[in-house]
Structure 1
Amino acid sequence: MSSDQVYLTLLEIFILVTVAQALKISGSRVRIPPIIMELITGLILGPFALGEFLNSLLNLNIFTINSYLLLFSQFSVILLIFAAGLEHGFRSLRSSGALSVLAATFGAILPFLGVFFYMLNYVSFNTAILMGAASAATSLAAVASIISGEKLENERYIKITMSAAAIDDVVAFIILSVSLAIIGGAQSTAFGLVKIIATVVISWLIIFFASVFIIPRLVSMVSGSLVVDLSLLVLFALVTIMISLGFSPVIAAFIAGVAIAESRKAEIIRGMVSAMIGIFGSIFFITIGAETDVFSFLSFQVLFQGVIITLIAVGLKFLGIFPFAYFYNKDTKKAIASSLGMIPRGEMGLVISSIAFSSGIFDQMDLAEIVLMSLLTTVIGAISFESSVKGLLRTEN
């Protein structure tokens, strides 16, 4: 690839980021989640839509999917997952409580199994298991603006949502690890599957607790001027180690974030990561949109399967969380609000679909179905959660 393409890719990235930012500012006025605007930017300006036309018009190969763009996209997703780990920290995971842990566990496992067994009738085992995994994790980004806008952070029914969301990420990463290990292991016997699951879970927990014990002490030892550099070194060293052990890099990024959050200098690192995400954070979601053929949404198969997957993902997520939210809140309306806040997918679902697409497990149709599911669950979750919260506020006032 010529040096010209490097600069064309940089131009492409900053055009896409600027357009996405403009759309996010417009969307924020009507509380459209930023992730939707980032995906739409990629879908519209990607090579399957306006991108190809603009390339011809300008006689420049600007809007393309190339190795440079994919490199920035991978860096973006590592930063996003690292930031999620930093935000949670081990203390928030540890203090979540039994009901939050159960809500998160069943809220992730039920949609995973539901989508997996449904899609197994239509696609290969490998595709079905990763489509199930992509349906498991919650994204609070879609409802975060509602929570902050209505100043609900200290409400009891919001606390279980926040705690369960933290544990939900851990459960989703374990599901992803097990799914990838099963795909790589090619085991067909029940004993073989149990062995793979046990090996992955035990390895995951050993690495997790070892990282939480060692990394904060290491980061706390260095001077403030070195802490940012060391944290990035730790991040990518752990990514490299876990890749060599057969784990996904996003799992390593999450563990590194959780571990570094326990150091005394975590606030400095959070500031650095926040600044970097302000520049690079949207690139991953824009790239996912650009990689998706926008015309695949005209396919009856994509629309039908995307809607069915969405219904399964919404229904089973709610079913998995509601009983535990009810025991926690002792109030049906508050339990419903807690459960609705967990419906949006987003980041993790798109991360898993990206892994599956880049490895050849997903085709364009599969990718489009998961993108559609992520968009629909985000919209449904945000609207229903806001409606439920406003109903509660009217009742209380």
Structure 2
Amino acid sequence: MNWVSFPVLTYFHAFNLPVPLLATTDAESSSLVLAGVLLSLVVIYLASKLGGELCARIDLPPVLGELLAGVVVGVSALHLLIFPEAGEDGSHSLIMTLLQATANLSPDALTSVFHSQSEVISVLSELGVIILLFEIGLESDLKELLRVGIQATVVAVVGVVVPFALGTAGLMLIFGIPSVPAIFAGAALTATSIGITAKVLAEIQRLSSREGQIIIGAAVMDDILGIIVLAVVASLARDGKVEVGNVVYLIISSAVFLIGAIWIGRLLTPFFVTLVDGMKTRGQLLLSALIIAFVLSYVAAVIQLEAILGAFAAGLILAETEKQRELQKQVIPIADMLTPIFFVVVGARTDIGVLNPFVPENREGLIMASFLIMVAIFGKLVTGLSVFGQPGINRLAIGVGMIPRGEVGLVFASVGSASGVLTQSLEAAIIVMVILTTFLAPPLLRVVFNQGNGVVEPVEAPDPTE
């Protein structure tokens, strides 16, 4: 079997999905998947650089440019990078059209190539956010995170409870939405995209600030709470009742995983340093570190948590070693290659067509979206008020840092849509809320930090010997 088709087959067998036609065809078809992936990467990298450079020149976070560039090349505009989630068969993809014209593909073969190519790009996108969170963990201070741990937990809880309660109650009382769809939409308001916020904090050199550490700690807790909330509302939508055992399992497994991984990891780091120092082959530090990151990501995924939590824990552990600075430098090129895929793909999957008020079926959704956006922003801004014992801290920055929903909010919308519990207008409202909070937060975060009363930490001068 051609090596290109192996991960695709593995995916379909793992989830008991029907294997597409491509999996049983010859190496020529597999090479077309590779060609489609390469063209997609060209589009992604060009879009990320153009968008990032444009935003950098007008003093906006480059990550916002990557997200907007993804919107331009995705389903909302150019249709260069689209995915099969919305029932697409590849016929509207310009990349697939080019492949079909040059390789004379039949419609069935086109659909197979499209699905396989989309799966590869989706996996690369997930790898991108795993590497991003590993890098963020390396740049974080575990002692500072532990010091602000209680405050970060309080911020996370407030950031989940307030928008959930306001959103659910408002949809039921103001718009007359039934309880289960209202609860699902309220749950979508609880999310926080740690990837987007962490990237912006790193770009403006505030990741190691008190505010940055509280935001990151709260966002990690928010991810855990979000997983639990999603499990609860998905169970409610499916069975009309909540499986208490599943909720308890998620809570216990989250706590055991994070505490256990960090505790065991800190005990084993001296062995890791000794092992790396004894190796003679190239890439010994980077590959050994990635093994740890991927193992912890795998464990997190297996116990029904997010893989990015494992990567973040691995970064925190290795940040405590004497290899931290060297490892940071070696991870940067990997992150530069993979993380733009994640942000462009998030933008490409976002359909801004739901914002068009001239489409009648969008209007009800836009009215509900206006309400959800206000709740989404207010529900996270109040988190800054819950910070205690930190005189002079920028509470507004903490609240703004919790605003972006990003891909996490889209997961809630997609699960709700797949379960059939969301109406078309309510689903559109959630998507609009996710879009605007995702794009609004990065520039706002920069503004509130620039106007805050905290002092920006100086950037360490480069080593002249390098």
- Judged with a 3 Å threshold, the aligned counterparts in structure 2 of structure 1 residues 249 and 66 are, in CA distance, closer, same or farther, namely same
- For residues 6-44 of structure 1, give each alpha carbon's deviation from its aligned partner in whole angstroms, at most 9, with x where no partner exists: 222222212222222122112112222223211211111
Which letter does structure 2 place at the counterpart of 1:259?
I
1:149-188 matches, cutoff 5 A: 159-183=209-233, 186=236
Q: Quote how far apart the aligned CAs of 1:73 are.
A: 1.1
- For residue 409 of structure 2, the aligned residue among 353, 374, 386 is 353
Q: Quote how far apart the aligned CAs of 1:276 are.
A: 1.2
- Contact preservation (8 Å) 1:100, 1:164: yes
- Judged with a 3 Å threshold, the aligned counterparts in structure 2 of structure 1 residues 8 and 198 are, in CA distance, closer, same or farther, namely closer
- TM-score scaled to structure 2, two decimals? 0.68
Q: Quote how far apart the aligned CAs of 1:114 are.
A: 3.5
Structure 2 stretches of 5 or more lacking a match? 1-21, 23-28, 81-91, 102-112, 278-282, 357-361, 457-466
Counterpart for residue 109 of structure 2: none
Counterpart for residue 87 of structure 2: none
- Contact preservation (8 Å) 1:77, 1:250: yes
Q: Structure 1 or 2: larger helix share? A: 1
1:1-397 matches, cutoff 5 A: 1=22, 2=29, 3-51=31-79, 55=94, 59-60=98-99, 66-96=118-148, 99=151, 101-115=153-167, 117-118=169-170, 121=177, 124=181, 127-128=184-185, 130-135=187-192, 139=197, 141-142=199-200, 145=203, 148=205, 159-183=209-233, 186=236, 193=244, 196-216=246-266, 217-218=268-269, 219-224=272-277, 225-298=283-356, 299-324=362-387, 328-329=390-391, 337-345=394-402, 349-356=405-412, 360=418, 365=428, 366-386=430-450, 388-389=451-452
- For residues 137-188 of structure 1, give each alpha carbon's deviation from its aligned partner in whole angstroms, at most 9, with x where no partner exists: 6825446555x4xxx89xxxx9441231132123212212312432565586
- Once the two structures are overlaid, the 10-residue window that deviates more, 105-114 or 75-84, is 105-114
Which letter does structure 2 place at the counterpart of 1:373?
T
- For residues 107-148 of structure 1, give each alpha carbon's deviation from its aligned partner in whole angstroms, at most 9, with x where no partner exists: 4543354445545747736742541232586825446555x4
Which letter does structure 1 place at the counterpart of 2:437?
M
Q: Quote how far apart the aligned CAs of 1:88 are.
A: 2.5
Which letter does structure 1 place at the counterpart of 2:228?
V
Q: Quote how far apart the aligned CAs of 1:198 are.
A: 3.9
CA distance in 1: counterparts of 2:43 and 2:381, whole angstroms: 39
Runs of 4+ displaced beyond 6 Å: 61-65, 187-190, 390-393
- For residues 255-275 of structure 1, give each alpha carbon's deviation from its aligned partner in whole angstroms, at most 9, with x where no partner exists: 333233333323333223322
- Judged with a 3 Å threshold, the aligned counterparts in structure 2 of structure 1 residues 257 and 356 are, in CA distance, closer, same or farther, namely farther
- Once the two structures are overlaid, the 10-residue window that deviates more, 264-273 or 28-37, is 264-273
- Contact preservation (8 Å) 2:36, 2:96: no
CA distance in 2: counterparts of 1:230 and 1:125, whole angstroms: 46
- Judged with a 3 Å threshold, the aligned counterparts in structure 2 of structure 1 residues 185 and 309 are, in CA distance, closer, same or farther, namely closer
CA distance in 2: counterparts of 1:180 and 1:318, whole angstroms: 22
Q: Quote how far apart the aligned CAs of 1:281 are.
A: 0.7
CA distance in 2: counterparts of 1:313 and 1:159, whole angstroms: 25
- Once the two structures are overlaid, the 10-residue window that deviates more, 213-222 or 168-177, is 213-222
What do you get for the CA RMSD once the two structures are aligned? 3.8
Local SS of the residue matching 2:218: helix
- Judged with a 3 Å threshold, the aligned counterparts in structure 2 of structure 1 residues 206 and 140 are, in CA distance, closer, same or farther, namely closer
Q: Percent identity?
A: 18
CA distance in 2: counterparts of 1:342 and 1:251, whole angstroms: 22
Local SS of the residue matching 2:59: coil
- For residues 303-324 of structure 1, give each alpha carbon's deviation from its aligned partner in whole angstroms, at most 9, with x where no partner exists: 4444433322222222222253
- Judged with a 3 Å threshold, the aligned counterparts in structure 2 of structure 1 residues 71 and 101 are, in CA distance, closer, same or farther, namely closer
Structure showing greater relative contact order (alpha-carbon pairs closer than 8 Å, 6 or more residues apart): 1
CA distance in 2: counterparts of 1:72 and 1:207, whole angstroms: 25
- Judged with a 3 Å threshold, the aligned counterparts in structure 2 of structure 1 residues 51 and 212 are, in CA distance, closer, same or farther, namely same
- Judged with a 3 Å threshold, the aligned counterparts in structure 2 of structure 1 residues 92 and 47 are, in CA distance, closer, same or farther, namely same
- Contact preservation (8 Å) 1:16, 1:42: yes
Which letter does structure 1 place at the counterpart of 2:122?
L
Greater CA radius of gyration, 1 or 2? 2
Local SS of the residue matching 2:140: helix
Local SS of the residue matching 1:288: helix
- Contact preservation (8 Å) 1:321, 1:339: yes
- Contact preservation (8 Å) 2:67, 2:343: yes
CA distance in 1: counterparts of 2:122 and 2:153, whole angstroms: 35
- Contact preservation (8 Å) 2:71, 2:347: yes
CA distance in 2: counterparts of 1:201 and 1:275, whole angstroms: 35
Structure 1 stretches of 5 or more lacking a match? none
